Structure 1
Amino acid sequence: MRTVELLCSPRLEETVRAAWDRLAVAGLPSLARNTHPTNRPHLTLASVDAFPPGAAERLADLVDAALPLPVRLDRVEVLDGSAPLVWLVRPTPELIALHAAVWDVLAGADGQNPWHAPGRWIPHLSLALRFRDNDRRLARALAGGDRPAGEFVAARSYDGDSRTVAPLGASVPPRE
């Protein structure tokens, strides 16, 4: 599996990590418990089995032209009732356009994750991967009621086979 992910500005990343920590301290599921070195707040635009030939270079050009991209987080939600706890991202026209362009580059690639497809994609930053809907009220209180703003400042691709990440584009992720 290969992904296309956007990375947060340092201030926004710290805001999300602080929410992870508050959830963990309260004994709730949290990505703070994932100690893999690639674990960091990110927005996934697409996931496929493998990039088609030339796609990495085309994706790099897209993200170089689009970043930095302003972002504002919205409410905390549990997707599908008992799955990921997420901080929703307000979809701006620029973000929607970048998402569509990424999917155009990956058109025809095997293993496209339908959750990320245009029209179905819900832009979000994950807070916990397995979460019970009945803990949503507490999670919202712990994550914070404000709607933080920041930027997406870099892009990367996660390789599920090697469990490594590689930058996409000229922007270097501020933290790895």
Structure 2
Amino acid sequence: MRTVEVLLDEAADLSVREAWLRLADAGLPSQALHPSPTNSPHLTLATCAELTSPLRWELAEVAAALPLPVRFTGVVRFERPTSVLAWALDLDPALAELHRRVWEAVSSDSSPATLNPFHEPGRWNPHVTLGRTRRPGAFAGPRIPDLLPAPPLSVRLTTLRSYDTETGVLEMLEPRS
């Protein structure tokens, strides 16, 4: 499975990493404990089975729209197959357009069975994961937001990338020159 993700600017990346460390120091699930060298704060836009040449071209066009300013809106929790604690992003028109373009590219080039329905426009909740676990309710309780630094108000999404979850290969998706 391949992800299509966008990375954060340096200041926002550091803020997210600080939140990861605070969660880990409190003994809570945290992305700081994720051992992969490719682990970095990011926003997942979509998933697909593979990146074909036509899809790479379309994503290169999307990458040309970066950097894109966005805003964090606060802490959000999801209880899906896993419990997730994250900082939510404001789904403003520019971010919605970036996401729509990625979704359309990926969905036109992929089998529906390989697409994550949570990434579908209208269902997608843009967020940057702070911690994740298979323990239901791990992030319940009022003390969690008090452990975290305030998210930065101004963030820029800077770089489009894809991660292959099976091989661990990370690929930067650069704009065409």
Structure 1 length-normalised TM: 0.89
Q: Is the 8 A contact 1:69 1:152 kept in 2?
A: yes
Specify the alignment match of 1:158 in structure 2: 163
Specify the alignment match of 2:118 in structure 1: 115
Unaligned 5+ runs, structure 1? 172-176
Q: Deviations along 1:62-91, whole A, 9 cap, x unmatched?
A: 111x10100111111211276111110111
Identity of aligned residues (%): 36
Q: State the alpha-carbon separation in 2 of the partners of residues 148 and 128 from structure 1.
A: 20
Structure 2 length-normalised TM: 0.89
Counterpart mapping for 1:9-158 below 5 A: 9-64=9-64, 66-80=65-79, 83-108=83-108, 109-110=110-111, 111-130=114-133, 132=137, 135-158=140-163
Q: Is the 8 A contact 2:12 2:152 kept in 1?
A: no
2:176 pairs with 1:168? no
* Moved segments of 4+, more than 4 Å: none
How much is the aligned-residue C-alpha RMSD, in angstroms?
A: 1.9
Q: State the alpha-carbon separation in 1 of the partners of residues 92 and 99 from structure 2.
A: 11
Question: Secondary structure of the residue that 1:84 maps to in structure 2?
Answer: strand
Aligned length: 170
Q: Deviations along 1:104-147, whole A, 9 cap, x unmatched?
A: 11124120010101110000000011262553422211123455
Q: State the alpha-carbon separation in 1 of the partners of residues 78 and 107 from structure 2.
A: 26
For structure 1, which segment, 15-24 or 82-91, has the greater mean C-alpha deviation from structure 2 after superposition? 82-91
